[in-house]
Structures are given as C-alpha cells and as structure tokens.
Amino acid sequence: MNYVPHRVLLPQWIFEQAKGNKAEIKRLVLTYMQRYPNYKIIKVSGSFAVCERLDGFL
C-alpha cells in the first residue's frame, strides 16, 4: 500500500484544555480521533493530526 498522509484538523478546544501538557494533548487527540476509525495517527503537527488511512483510497 502506498503511504499518502491525510491531515485531520484538530479542534482548538483540545489545545486550550491541555494547556501545553503534551501527555494531555496526546490523550485528547487519541480520544477525538476515535471518530475516525480507519485513520492511524502518525504525528501531531500544529493543529493537524497527520494520519495514514488504513482502508486504502476512496
């Protein structure tokens, strides 16, 4: 499978609620991304979660 990164915009409340705590950001992002079950998080870059789509292309 070819790796094509997908970027998911994360809501601002995640960063406001975490107040700079990286462990809390990670927890909140993982919780939020449960609504995208076919995406595997690679990293968080700015306000985006960079993900790999597990079920291939559309």
DSSP 12-52: HHHHHHHTT-HHHHHHHHHHHGGG-TTEEEEEEETTEEEEE
Give me the percent of the chain exceeding a pLDDT of 90.
74
Residue 3: the pLDDT is 72
Does residue 56 register a pLDDT over 80? no
- Mapped onto helix, strand or coil, the DSSP state of residue 2 is coil
Contact status, residue 42 vs residue 5, Cβ threshold 8 Å: yes
Residues 13-37 pLDDT 10s: 999 999 989 999 999 999 999 999 9
Alpha-carbon distance 47 to 35, whole Å? 17
